[in-house]
Chain A
Amino acid sequence: MTKKEYTITVYTENHIGLLNRIAIIFSRRKINIESLNTSPSEIEGIHRFTILIHETEEVVKKLARQIEKQVEVLKAYYNNNDEIIWQEMALYKVPTDIIAEKAKVERLLREYGARAVVIRKDYTVFETTGHREETDRLITALEPLGLIEFVRTARIAIIKASSGFHDKLKEFEATEPGEEIVENEYLSKQDEVFAM
């Protein structure tokens, strides 16, 4: 199996220390986290982790199961890039004088979908959102112009096939376990699995 980008989406309770518990699942296996974002989710009080890693599907599946095993984790999903809509945001600080003189700022902004967040005498801050390649391209464009600072956020992603977590949460809140909580890939792919 080849390694590729996977996005792991984790729905959790808001619990101090959970970030560490999730992080050590990766570091224990010497797997690098490419990016990690925590944010609120569609449900108040439920947090959403978005973790990007470069691994084989087999490893990602095991990682997701280990994450889901944590007491405060409700659910962990993993998706490849075809299954999600994702964005990253980046900020670029460049010297205003050089930009004003040398760059066709307008073209730059149009081409990269960027906008200026701050314009001061000494520097200007641009912002853009997009995929990694897109934000990287703007670095390449700005580097010759004396890029002072660059920073990019973690990936955030929406799962195309997801219908949200509201219904799932109701099941979690019920005392008796329901069928939906542990999706069973064996069931949906029964023909493949049992035909050994």
Chain B
Amino acid sequence: MFGYPGGAIMPIYDALFDYTNQIQHILVRHEQGGIHAAQGYARTSGRVGVVFATSGPGATNLVTGLADAQIDSTPVVCITGQVFAHLLGTDAFQETDVINITAPVTKWNYQVTDASEIAETLAKAFYIAASGRPGPVLVDITKNAQLQKVPYAGYQKCRHIRSYRPAPFVRSEYIEAAARLINEAERPYVIFGQGVILGNAEQELQAFLEKSGIPAAWTVLGLSALPTDHPLNMGMLGMHGNYGPNVLTNECDVLIAIGMRFDDRVTGRLDKYAKQAKVIHLDIDPAEVDKNVKATVPVWGNCKDTLPLLTSKVQPRSHTAWVQRFKDFKQKETEKVIEPEMKPAGDVLSMAEVIQSLNEITKGDAVIVTDVGQHQMVACRYARFNQSRSNVTSGGLGTMGFALPAAIGAKYGAPNRQVVAIIGDGGFQMTLQELGTIMQFGAVVKIIILNNNFLGMVRQWQQLFHDHRYSSVDIQSPDFVMLAKAYGINGQRVNDRANLNSAMAVMLESSASYLLEVMVGKENNVFPMVPQGRGVAEIVLSADEV
């Protein structure tokens, strides 16, 4: 668990002192770092991440992480201290109304004012956080309840709350209707999201795709659910996704959406999105069906349950000509975007070649944690993945500063795996204090800073849509390598292509944490791009087309 002590949570930390041998508490440097670490842990391990914070500022510092976990469906339990119950509402020292502040960004929250409620509330908290569509839960415990002594009846796992339905009833009629549409389809197309990972349904997805022969593309959060090399993996959806997966969304006849929520970054303009297609939407959350895109056939339920039912009813087929169309688009994208990115003409390094260098050594086995911005899109586009739960990023909220603390948590969640954080020069400066957490507790995290001396994504937009008016994007950085040294972390800076691969190897082979700063092209852009306000088929491959 991750956390930071303070006045109103001291009795809990006092109790923790007796369990030092059984419970590892990672003292972070800021509560936001604590919750992002808990998120990283949850994303790689599939278990619930836990974070402790004190009342007032401790609790409000969790809000960004809660919002992030809420929109990305990450199971996290936050336990916050609160002032004595008799002081509630008196503007007491470090009192804040954390229950109301966090109501919009938690799946559930509850304030405990009596110790007799603690065991049951925590059991409920973990059940709610992890079940159904997962999400963050916050339990606020007043100091009097922490100090109060009550007879303890033991911990009983919560398995049922009468007002809460984690998963809807699966109806066979829909499965049949969906299978019928798929079997009649000429150009069926699967788009999948994190629901596949959260439902542990990677095998079920693969079985469905392989039997039906349907090409598939992924959202940023669905990335790594299907290995990069899988013959039916067509690439990434959305604003900076691949060419074919976007364009062909508007040419398929049946669109099968699995565990994804038709985010605006995926769909572009909704009135120009897949209008020709019949839509089958598999989701565990009934509120997602018809929210953004109307479903012809909704399949409510965990895709772990619904996919095998669907697989059993679809005919074995191969859609060779249709898959070939994706490949043709890929060919064009490779010529116009990917090749020039991977092998830039000049001396200036590109982000893509750094990712490629990483791929060549890790072969797709690493956990990759990204922050938000250009480097994130480039990493998602080019990083290779062999196994699920390997891509950790802030997708929905787009939280700069997410990657460093999330990578620390990701390492605790997957201690035997290589964890690489890829971060921009801007985002790194938002939570760099967590280098102190690495220094103190020794989580082995490899950090790549892709430094373009700009807030790159904002600059790209200013270039393309605001007439080159670079307003407040020219950000200066400290000497990151020296900074890491101050925290006892080795590192080096790479300016030249000639040193990239060897520096990458040194970083990956290091048995301790390591920071690699790579200086990349200052004004490089991420393409393809679906400009805001346009349809997915209007994706452009270069700035000239915008």
Contacts and interface: CB of A to CB of B under 8 A. Distances in A.
A73 B108 CA distance: 11
Given A20-B100, A194-B296, A196-B296, A177 B168 contact: yes
Contacts of B290: 61-62
B162 interface: yes
B297 A182 contact: no
Interface string A178-196: 1101101011001001101
B482 to A, nearest CB: 45
A91 to B, nearest CB: 31
Given A12-B163, A17-B103, A177-B165, A66 B128 contact: no
A71 B128 contact: yes
B169 A69 contact: no
Given A62-B287, A179-B169, A71 B163 contact: yes
Contacts of A178: 169
A28 B103 CA distance: 12
A173 interface: yes
Contacts of B100: 17, 20
A62 B165 contact: no
B299 to A, nearest CB: 10
B59 to A, nearest CB: 15
Contacts of A61: 290
A21 B103 contact: yes
Nearest to B169: A177
A173 to B, nearest CB: 5
A28 B104 contact: yes
A74 interface: yes
Contacts of A74: 162-163
B177 A182 contact: no
Given A177-B169, A179-B169, A186-B174, A172 B163 contact: yes
B438 to A, nearest CB: 36
Contact of B163 (A24, A73, A182): A73
A2 interface: no
B278 interface: yes
B160 interface: yes
Contacts of B162: 13, 74, 169, 172-173
Given A175-B160, A177-B165, A182 B286 contact: yes
Interface string B149-165: 00000000001111111
Contacts of A184: 171
Contacts of A172: 162-163, 165
B67 to A, nearest CB: 12
A72 interface: yes
B99 interface: yes
Nearest to B170: A177
A44 B103 CA distance: 26
B278 A196 contact: yes
B297 A13 contact: no
B365 interface: no
Interface in B243-292: 278, 285-287, 290-291
A68 interface: yes
A181 B163 CA distance: 11
A102 B338 CA distance: 87
Contacts of B167: 177
A131 interface: no
Contacts of A193: 296-297
Interface in A13-35: 13, 16-17, 20-21, 24, 28
A4 interface: no
B493 interface: no
B366 to A, nearest CB: 35
Q: Which of A17, A66, A173 has the most CB of B within 10 A?
A: A17
Interface string A65-94: 110110111100000000000000000000
Most chain A CB inside 10 Å of its own CB: which residue of B160, B162, B177: B162
B446 interface: no
Contacts of A62: 287, 290-291
B173 interface: yes
Nearest to B291: A62
Contact of B161 (A71, A179, A181, A186): A71
Residue among A177, A182, A186 facing the most chain B CB atoms (10 A cut-off): A186
A182 B109 contact: no
Given A74-B162, A196-B296, A68 B169 contact: no
A74 B163 CA distance: 5
A107 to B, nearest CB: 50
B298 interface: yes
Nearest to A175: B160
A13 B159 contact: no
B25 to A, nearest CB: 28
Given A71-B128, A177-B168, A24 B103 contact: yes
B300 interface: yes
Contacts of B163: 12-13, 71-74, 172
Given A74-B163, A175-B159, A179-B169, A24 B286 contact: no
Nearest to A169: B162
Contacts of A194: 177, 296-297
A163 B167 CA distance: 25
Interface in B80-128: 99-100, 103-104, 107-111, 128
A190 B296 CA distance: 10
Interface in B293-339: 296-298, 300
A151 B162 CA distance: 37
Nearest to B287: A65
Contacts of A68: 286-287
A188 to B, nearest CB: 11
B124 to A, nearest CB: 9
Interface in B485-524: none
Given A181-B169, A194-B177, A24 B104 contact: yes
B107 A71 contact: yes
A16 B110 CA distance: 9
B173 A187 contact: yes
Contacts of A12: 163
Nearest to A186: B298
7 contacts: A16-B111, A17-B99, A17-B100, A65-B287, A69-B286, A74-B162, A181-B168
Interface of B: 99-100, 103-104, 107-111, 128, 159-165, 167-169, 171, 173-174, 177, 278, 285-287, 290-291, 296-298, 300
Given A13-B163, A24-B104, 6 more contacts: A17-B110, A71-B161, A71-B163, A179-B169, A179-B171, A181-B165
A-B interface, 6 closest residue pairs, ranked by CB to CB distance from nearest: A65-B287, A71-B108, A172-B162, A177-B169, A74-B163, A71-B164
